[in-house]
């Protein structure tokens, strides 16, 4: 007789756990998308910020912070309105890295009409998932240049760069820039051949031609038009394709805060240069006149601000050394009689050091104005020349204080005394000692000084000066 096997029943707790798990799976399958892990930027705002002027430490800090803020707000899109003549290579690469690593789609828009994305701006445009331009704008001229070379006026293309620089260092810079820009072009599926021309030949393009040559993705009149044209567009971000849903998305415009504005002011090479000189001259005045307080306080603040700015800027330390040497020589001229040799040498070292101070590669718009250098060199020469004249005249003046000033002076006895007593001289009362008797009101001549006691000789009444 076969054995009857009773059906096994799972414990109640096990049944409840399985039922709850099944219900949870069904619930999560039909939950609204907002409670499920959604695509980054699917429900956030559109974040916009502007970069105007040279790409420097302030622009880098502002762009990096804004991109991080957009990521934190789960933005649907970041729009960078760009108008720049170029800038520092290090600042540009930091912005490019942040754009490439951003999970939020970035659209770089060269606008308004008349704007440009030259030099470093071209790299930022190529690195963005979406590259757009307004009518009447241009991009290109991405050849690395040295500080101090004249940049093109707004709206005009810079002069063509030589196709094959003879300087090996320049050739190395150009090859590196070509590889970098071609890599960005291939990453975004844009015209890599023209990217190479932009570096080797300093080629530039207006907006319409850039669209025809597939250097950019679209042309728009303004930011609202750009957002309208990007609705439903598919872009690749961090290796995955996203469809932009911008309908009804609010546009949040980010503005630089006080820190960014202060950084933009002090990292202007001309401002940093002036702050450096004010700081040095303030400390010189404080050390030469201890206790003045104001020159030392102002000088220390300006010097620290200048050093912070030059830490962020590409500084040639040989130029900084020559500048400091020039100031030291001009100061020495005021104390060491060299018939102007130290002063002239100091002005020459000061001017040469100032010209070399920011002589680095790849940063148009970050050179110190030669006119400012000439003016400050002339002012420094006049300042130390006048100071030297005052010092020479002061040395030639007779001594009016101390032992030398009292020797030979005439005073009046305030009392009768035979050894020691008191006299009035130069409006002051002194203890006096005399080898001969002195009567009250008699004039005495000071012969020497023993501590705080004057050694005097009475003047006979017949010889007293009138």
Q: Which residues are catalytic?
A: 119, 172
d(CA 55, CA 150): 16
d(CA 424, CA 422): 7
Q: Compute the Cα dihedral for 84, 90, 91, 92 and give only its sign.
A: positive
Paired with 261 in beta bridges are: none
Paired with 46 in beta bridges are: 77, 251
d(CA 159, CA 237): 36
CA geometry: angle at 421 spanning 415 and 427, to 5°? 75
Angstrom CA distances, 100 to 96, 204, 237, 246, stand at: 6, 24, 8, 21
Both tokens of 55, joined, read 């790409």
Angstrom CA distances, 343 to 16, 94, 273, 357, 382, stand at: 95, 43, 21, 20, 10
Give, rounded to a whole angstrom, the gap between the first and last alpha carbons of the chain.
Answer: 161
Q: Identify the CA nearest to 177 among candidates 123, 220, 219.
A: 123
Cβ atoms of residues 357 and 148 within 8 Å: no
Residue whose token pair is 């063509």? 160
Q: Identify the CA nearest to 383 among candidates 341, 327, 345, 339.
A: 327
Angstrom CA distances, 22 to 13, 17, 25, 330, stand at: 14, 9, 5, 87
d(CA 314, CA 226): 36
Paired with 322 in beta bridges are: none
Both tokens of 300, joined, read 């220390």
d(CA 169, CA 149): 17
């Amino acid at each position: 007789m076969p054995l009857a096997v009773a059906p096994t029943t799972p414990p109640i707790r096990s049944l409840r756990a399985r039922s709850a798990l099944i219900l949870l799976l069904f619930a999560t399958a039909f939950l609204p998308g907002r409670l499920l892990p959604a695509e980054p930027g699917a429900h956030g705002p559109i974040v916009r910020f502007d970069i105007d002027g040279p790409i420097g430490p302030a622009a880098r800090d502002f762009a990096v912070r804004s991109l991080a803020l957009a990521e934190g707000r789960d933005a649907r899109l970041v729009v960078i309105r760009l108008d720049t003549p170029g800038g520092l290579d290090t600042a540009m690469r930091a912005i490019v890295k942040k754009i490439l690593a951003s999970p939020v789609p970035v659209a770089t828009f060269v606008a308004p009409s008349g704007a440009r994305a030259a030099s470093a701006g071209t790299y930022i445009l190529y690195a963005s998932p979406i590259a757009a331009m307004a009518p009447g704008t241009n991009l290109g001229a991405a050849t690395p240049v040295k500080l101090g070379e004249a940049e093109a006026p707004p709206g005009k293309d810079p002069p063509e760069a030589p196709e094959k620089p003879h300087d090996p260092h320049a050739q190395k810079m150009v090859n590196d820039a070509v590889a970098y820009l071609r890599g960005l072009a291939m990453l975004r599926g844009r015209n890599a051949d023209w990217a190479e021309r932009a570096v080797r030949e300093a080629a530039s393009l207006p907006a319409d031609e850039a669209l025809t040559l597939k250097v950019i993705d679209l042309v728009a009149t303004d930011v609202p038009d750009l957002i309208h044209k990007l609705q439903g567009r598919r872009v690749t971000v961090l290796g995955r394709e996203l469809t932009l849903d911008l309908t009804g998305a609010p546009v949040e415009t980010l503005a630089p805060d006080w820190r960014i504005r202060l950084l933009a002011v002090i990292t202007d090479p001309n401002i940093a240069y002036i702050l450096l000189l004010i700081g040095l001259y303030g400390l010189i005045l404080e050390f030469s006149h201890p206790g003045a307080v104001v020159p030392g306080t102002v000088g220390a603040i300006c010097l620290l601000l200048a050093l912070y700015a030059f830490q962020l800027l590409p500084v040639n330390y040989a130029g900084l050394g020559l500048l400091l040497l020039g100031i030291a020589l001009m100061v020495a001229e005021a104390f060491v009689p060299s018939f102007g040799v130290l002063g002239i040498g100091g002005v020459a070292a000061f001017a040469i050091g100032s010209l070399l101070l920011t002589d680095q590669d790849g940063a148009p718009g970050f050179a110190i104005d030669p006119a400012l250098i000439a003016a400050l060199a002339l002012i420094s020469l006049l300042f130390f020349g006048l100071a030297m004249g005052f010092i020479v005249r002061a040395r030639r003046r007779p001594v009016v204080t101390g032992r030398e000033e009292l020797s030979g002076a005439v005073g009046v006895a305030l009392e009768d005394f035979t050894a020691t007593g008191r006299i009035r001289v130069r409006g002051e009362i002194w203890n006096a000692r005399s080898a001969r008797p002195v009567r009250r009101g008699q004039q005495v001549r000071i012969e020497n000084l023993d501590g705080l006691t004057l050694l005097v000789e009475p003047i006979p009444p017949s010889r007293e000066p009138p």
